[in-house]
Amino acid sequence: MASGDRNPPWSERVWPAGWTVEYVDETGSTNTDLLETAFTRPDRSVRATGHQTAGRGRLDRRWDAPPGTNLLVSILFHTVPPSPNELTRRVGLAAVVACREVVGVHAALKWPNDILVGEAKLAGILAQRHQDGPVVVGMGLNVGWAPEGAARL
């Protein structure tokens, strides 16, 4: 969906109690957005976008996709378990289950931060911790576009 088009249908739905979900056409990075505003947002705030201009992957690798092609989303957690890595696993496992139940794609979680279909990468997950405690877990899921050698739904 190009900038200026209407929001995706899922952005207008009513979300379960305790979840705050917002969609923006374009941003630098959904992770950065949530980290910078962590203390003005409630726990389980979700920010999704149609395009990231400064998306990052693990080890500060650049992550990019054409506008409107993939699911680009981050979740802010104020309630952080003793092992913060648990949040990355939870988000990854939820995405694997959604791929199987919603689209019938048999994806698998490859620890620590990849979702694969066979040997091809379908999604990447990046967790970042704010210096004062909250954790943001972001995910880029290849829905309509994937780089060469990767998988898409």
**Helix or strand run (H / E) with residue 20:** strand 20-24
- C-alpha closest to that of 126 among 115, 16, 24, 117: 115
Q: Is the dihedral of CA 15, 91, 25, 122 positive or negative?
A: negative
Residue pLDDT, tens place only, 34-66: 999 999 999 999 999 999 987 666 556 666 778
Backbone torsions φ then ψ of 26, nearest 5 degrees: -150, 145
Cα distances (angstroms) measured from residue 92 to each of 3, 12, 108, 119, 123: 28, 24, 9, 16, 9
Three-state DSSP at 33 gives helix
Three-state DSSP at 147 gives coil
What is the average pLDDT across 76-99?
94
Residue 104 zone, left/alpha/beta (φ > 0; ψ -120 to 50; rest): left
pLDDT category at 112 given cuts 50, 70, 90 is: confident
pLDDT at 65: 79
Instruction: Using the predicted structure, report yes or no on whether residue 2 has a pLDDT greater than 50.
Output: no
pTM beyond cutoff 0.85: yes
In whole angstroms, give the CA distance from residue 111 to residue 127: 13
Backbone torsions φ then ψ of 110, nearest 5 degrees: -110, 110
User: What tokens were used for 105?
Assistant: 């794609």
Three-state DSSP at 38 gives helix
User: What tokens were used for 101?
Assistant: 């139940």
